[in-house]
């Protein structure tokens, strides 16, 4: 051997003890013939809790009790015959105190001058096994949750080149879309083709918004299921994240919302029908009120006037020397006067004749009547001296105003009421503001509270809206917006 080789071998011999002592792996040298430990490094003795002397008297099967001598010999023979360069054994070591830990060995054969040996390098795999176990448990839980989720759990990947794919699709794919997960992964464009043409634009817009803002992708739309010849409403919700090379991937869920959509459409339709019915009832009621008011005013009022005239004639012809009879006649005349006033009041409540003079005049009159009857100042202002509204709209707005004043008189404990009527090109707005105790949400929703509900229904029936809010300085603001109905163009009508 050359001198340089001797120096290198000597250096290796000096390094080896340090390497063996400093290794975090368990290192064993076993005699191939006796299956006894010829060397055990400190990491092994510390882990096993046995001394080097104790291990020298023990066989590998004493610490790896689930592995037999025959298994060791067979493995060693394979290495000695050169059939493989190394071998792997997974076993369990038992410490001196009886505790155990899993260990994985790499075995190497070395034909040394003193006799053939096996070098075994082992590592405790407890942490790895725990991680594997935890991962399997997590995957099992995830699989259970996904399989019990009513819908399709999926991953959607959009590459920087604009290509898209579905890395993951749950078993709910076919039940929801009518196509298998394999078919959709093979041809990702199939999903867009399922979407009805009129809903595809909103689908793409929702996706682009999610990309631009890195926000959740929320979309509802209709798809055509060829398998069942049916249209379904689906809801898509997914969370995006950026991957390498500017790719975006979403994880989310698709669900079938057809039933809820149909129920929603039915509710909307029912509400529309209810509003239409309410408007019809109010119209019929106002017409009936007008008819009754006119009959009361014309027939009953006329009869009372005739009675008053006849009574006046009889009174004049009555003997002057009968004061008792004159007193009775005066009483009957005053009774007739009071009855005529009652008739006028009832007829006015049924259908105020002041509405014939326009909405502004009607509201101004009602504000003054309120102030006179209740004793609360009611200040009215209008942006225009005269506002033309459809008769049904004007009547509905006037009735809402009456109901609002009634509520103020009953509940508000206000000391002043301000009323504003504003006319614009698009709508008429009526605001009733009081400085009372205000209205709570519970008061609006309590059972048998029909005042505000009736006002809301009236506003809806004429195509308007009503809001109830708290005034800045306390009290309540009732605001009604009524859209203007375009009046017919008389000029064009004359041309025809």
Based on the domain organization, do 316 and 206 belong to the same domain?
A: no
Claim to verify: residue 19 and residue 117 sit in the same structural domain = yes
In a domain, 73, yes or no: yes
Integer Cα distance of 288 and 282 in angstroms:
10
Are the C-beta atoms of 170 and 147 separated by less than 8 Å? yes
pLDDT confidence of residue 399 = 87
pLDDT surpassing 50 at residue 490: no
Task: Please tell me the predicted confidence (pLDDT) of residue 206.
Answer: 96
Reply yes or no on whether the pLDDT at 446 is more than 70. Answer: no
373, 349 contact by CB (below 8 A)? no
Q: Is residue 142 part of a domain?
A: no
Is the pLDDT at 159 greater than 70? The verdict is yes
Does the residue 136 lie in any domain? no
Query: Are 338 and 390 members of one domain?
Result: no
CA atoms within 13 A on the CB side of 45: 15
Judge whether 488 lies within some domain.
no
Same domain, 370 and 479: yes
What is the domain extent for residue 79? 11-129
| Exposure of 133 in the CB half-sphere (CA atoms within 13 A) | 6
Contact 449, 440 (CB under 8 A): no
Which residue has tokens 């003054």?
A: 368
Residue 494 lies in a domain: no
| For residue 367, pLDDT beyond 90 | yes
Alpha-carbon distance of 190 to 183, in angstroms, equals 8
Q: Residues 315-334: pLDDT tens digits?
A: 888 887 788 888 888 888 88
In the predicted model, what is the mean pLDDT of residues 197-209? 95
Q: What pLDDT score was predicted for residue 142?
A: 66
- Which residue, 349, 368, 387, sits at the end of a domain? 349
Point out the least confidently predicted range of 115-119, 149-153, 248-252, 346-350: 346-350
Domain boundary among 221, 256, 291: 256
Strand-pair partners of 153: 253
pLDDT tens-place string over residues 91-119: 999 999 999 999 999 999 888 777 788 89
Asked if 248 and 166 sit in the same domain, the reply is yes
Tell me which of 417 and 388 has the higher pLDDT: 417
User: Per-residue confidence at 486, pLDDT binned at 50, 70, 90?
Assistant: low
CA 327, CA 308: separation in Å to the nearest integer? 15
Please determine, for residue 281, whether its predicted confidence score (pLDDT) is greater than 80: no
| 460 vs 297: which has the higher pLDDT | 460
Q: Contact 172/151 with Cβ under 8 angstroms?
A: yes
Looking at the fold, whether 393 and 456 belong to one and the same domain comes out as yes
How far is C-alpha 176 from the geometric centre of its chain's CA atoms? 21
Query: Cα separation of 366 and 432, whole Å?
Result: 13
**Residue 180: band (very low, low, confident or very high) from pLDDT cuts 50, 70, 90:** very high
120 CB-contact burial (10 Å; exposed 0-12 / middle 13-18 / buried 19+): buried
Residues 6+ apart with CB under 8 A from 305: 340
Both 154 and 205 in one domain: the answer is yes
Spatial separation of the C-alpha atoms in residues 436 and 431, rounded to whole Å: 15
Domain count across the chain? 4
> Residue range 15-21: average pLDDT?
71
Q: Which residue has the higher pLDDT, 286 or 405?
A: 405
Distances (CA, A) of 135 to 91, 290, 391: 21, 79, 74
Q: What is the CATH classification number for the domain harbouring 36?
A: 3.30.450.20
Residue at 311 is within a domain? yes
Rounded mean pLDDT, 388-395: 83
Task: Report how far Cα 215 is from the mean position of its chain's Cα atoms.
Answer: 15
The reply to whether 278 and 167 lie within a common domain is no
- Is there a domain that residue 489 lies in? no
pLDDT confidence of 1, banded at 50, 70, 90?
very low
Are residues 364 and 312 both part of a single domain? no
Identity of the highest mean pLDDT range in 217-231, 258-272, 380-394, 438-452: 217-231
- Among 349, 377, 401, the domain-final residue is 349
- Mean pLDDT on 418-430: 92
For residues 347 and 36, which has the higher predicted lDDT (pLDDT)?
36
Query: In the structure, what pLDDT confidence band is assigned to residue 485 with cuts at 50, 70 and 90?
Result: low
Judge if 328 and 212 occupy the same domain: no
Does residue 154 sit in the same domain as residue 242?
yes
Residue 318 pLDDT? 80
State the pLDDT at residue 77.
84
Q: Give the pLDDT of residue 447.
A: 54
102 C-beta neighbours (distance < 10 Å), count: 16
Alpha helices in 317-449 (DSSP H): 323-350, 359-374, 391-407, 441-445
Q: What is the mean pLDDT of the chain?
A: 84
Residues 172 and 192 in one domain: yes
The arithmetic mean of pLDDT across residues 420-425, rounded, is 91
Burial of 366 (0-12, 13-18, 19+ CB in 10 A): buried
> 478 in a domain, yes or no?
yes
Output the pLDDT for position 2.
Answer: 47
């Amino acid at each position: 051997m050359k001198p340089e080789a001797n120096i290198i071998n000597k250096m290796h011999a000096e390094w080896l003890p340090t390497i063996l002592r400093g290794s975090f792996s368990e290192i064993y040298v076993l005699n191939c013939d006796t299956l006894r430990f010829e060397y055990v490094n400190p990491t092994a003795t510390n882990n096993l809790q046995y001394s080097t002397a104790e291990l020298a008297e023990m066989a590998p099967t004493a610490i790896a009790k689930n592995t037999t001598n025959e298994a060791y010999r067979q493995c060693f023979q394979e290495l000695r015959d050169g059939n493989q360069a190394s071998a792997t054994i997974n076993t369990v070591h038992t410490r001196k105190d009886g505790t155990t830990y899993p260990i994985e060995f790499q075995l190497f054969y070395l034909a040394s001058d003193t006799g053939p040996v096996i070098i075994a390098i082992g590592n405790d795999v407890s942490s790895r096994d725990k991680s594997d176990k935890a991962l399997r448990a997590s995957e099992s839980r995830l699989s259970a949750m996904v399989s019990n989720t009513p819908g399709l759990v999926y991953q959607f990947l959009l590459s920087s080149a604009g290509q898209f794919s579905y890395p993951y699709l749950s078993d709910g794919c076919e039940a929801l879309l009518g196509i298998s997960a394999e078919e959709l992964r093979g041809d990702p464009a199939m999903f867009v083709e399922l979407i009805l043409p009129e809903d595809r634009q909103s689908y793409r817009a929702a996706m682009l918004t999610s990309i631009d803002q890195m926000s959740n992708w929320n979309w509802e739309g209709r798809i055509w299921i060829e398998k069942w010849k049916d249209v379904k409403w689906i809801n898509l919700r997914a969370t995006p994240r950026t991957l390498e090379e500017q790719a975006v991937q979403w994880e989310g869920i698709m669900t079938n919302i057809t039933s809820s959509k149909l129920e929603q459409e039915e509710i909307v339709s029912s509400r529309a029908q209810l509003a239409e019915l309410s408007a019809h009832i109010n119209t019929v009621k106002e017409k009936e009120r007008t008819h009754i008011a006119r009959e009361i005013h014309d027939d009953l009022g006329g009869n009372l006037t005739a009675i008053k005239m006849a009574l006046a004639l009889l009174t004049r012809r009555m003997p002057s020397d009968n004061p008792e009879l004159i007193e009775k006649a005066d009483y009957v005349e005053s009774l007739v006067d009071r009855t005529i006033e009652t008739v006028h009041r009832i007829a006015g409540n049924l259908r105020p004749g002041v509405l014939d003079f326009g909405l502004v005049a009607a509201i101004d009159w009602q504000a003054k009547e309120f102030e006179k009857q209740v004793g609360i100042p009611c200040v009215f202002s209008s942006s225009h001296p005269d506002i033309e509204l459809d008769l049904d709209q004007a009547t509905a707005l006037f009735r809402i105003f009456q109901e609002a004043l009634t509520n103020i008189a009953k509940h508000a404990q206000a000391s002043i009421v301000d009323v504003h009527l504003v006319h614009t090109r698009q709508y008429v707005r009526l605001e009733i503001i009081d400085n009372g105790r205000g209205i709570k949400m519970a008061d609006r929703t309590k059972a048998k509270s029909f005042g505000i509900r009736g006002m809301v229904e009236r506003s809806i029936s004429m195509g308007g809206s009503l809001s109830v809010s708290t005034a800045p300085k306390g009290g309540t603001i009732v605001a009604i917006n009524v859209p203007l109905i375009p009046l017919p163009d008389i000029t064009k009508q004359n041309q025809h």
